[in-house]
Amino acid sequence: MAEFWESSFQDKSTMWGFDPADSALATAQFFKQEGLSTILIPGFGYGRNAKVFADTGCFVTGIEISETAIALAQDHFGNGLNIYHGSVTAMPFDQELYDGIFCYALIHLLNEKERLKLIEDCYNQLKPGGYMVFVAISKNDAAYGAGEKLSKDSFKTRHGVELFFYNADAVKAEFGAYGLIESIEINEPSKPTGNKPSQKFWQITCRK
């Protein structure tokens, strides 16, 4: 996976633009309302979803597998960023406990063992009373079923990316033991832009 993302960021640079995802905007406001100040973002990318948390006064720490993405983040947002270079499968990178964790469109790229480890690792790095929010692709997304079937609800795309598609039962099975308080299906973005349709995701919120 490291080679895929390094190549992707080298070829496509800031491929998603700099506007944060709608779910990142909503989560940043939620974290602000709850008075959270230290945020961990596994799968930091080049920081497009991080700035909205920093703009609310949060101190943000990232984890990112691509050195190119980290360099892009530093170019656009400054060298003061605290980003660990490595795979989320190697968590934890520090012994800090965070008020909040936001993990966008990452967990569905992992296999079952890696997904469960990521959820547990994130939960273990939450302060008591802290929140973690995951955004994961839904089985109701149009991409479901495309590509080579690997296992139940898991497919390899034509780009070689493995995707696991969540339904309500899978959300409960994987997050239920980790303070699951809400799981809702969302459109991302909330309104389609141009000719590109929205994707279907689950927004999953847990509290420690």
Topology of the domain comprising 1-13+20-207: Rossmann fold (3.40.50)
**What percent of the chain is modeled with pLDDT above 90?**
73
Strand order in the sheet with 148-151: 148-151, 154-156, 162-164
Q: Which H helix or E strand runs over 93?
A: none
Residue 5 pLDDT > 50, yes or no? no
Q: Which one has a higher pLDDT value, 163 or 8?
A: 163
**What percent of the chain is modeled with pLDDT above 70?**
89
Q: Which one has a higher pLDDT value, 84 or 6?
A: 84
3-class DSSP state of 101: strand
Q: What is the pLDDT of residue 190?
A: 82
**Residue type at 25?**
L
Nearest to 133 by CA among 45, 46, 208: 208
3-class DSSP state of 39: strand
3-class DSSP state of 170: helix
Contact status, residue 175 vs residue 119, Cβ threshold 8 Å: yes
Separation of alpha carbons 91 and 199, rounded Å: 28
Rounded to 5 degrees, what are φ and ψ at 174? Answer: -90, -30
Separation of alpha carbons 107 and 28, rounded Å: 19
Q: Which contacts (CB < 8 Å, 24+ apart) does range 58-64 have?
A: 58/28, 58/31, 58/32, 58/100, 61/94, 61/96, 61/98, 63/88, 63/91, 63/93
Residue 18 pLDDT > 90, yes or no? no
Q: For residue range 116-144, what is the model confidence (pLDDT) as tens digits?
A: 999 999 999 999 999 999 999 999 999 99
Residue in the structure block whose two tokens are 């605290």 = 82
**Residue type at 3?**
E
Helix ranges (DSSP H) in the chain: 2-12, 22-33, 51-54, 67-77, 112-124, 168-175
Please give the mean pLDDT across all residues of the chain. Answer: 90
Q: For residue range 59-116, what is the model confidence (pLDDT) as tens digits?
A: 999 999 988 888 888 887 766 679 999 999 999 999 999 999 999 999 999 999 999 9
The confidence band for 44, taking pLDDT boundaries of 50, 70 and 90, is very high
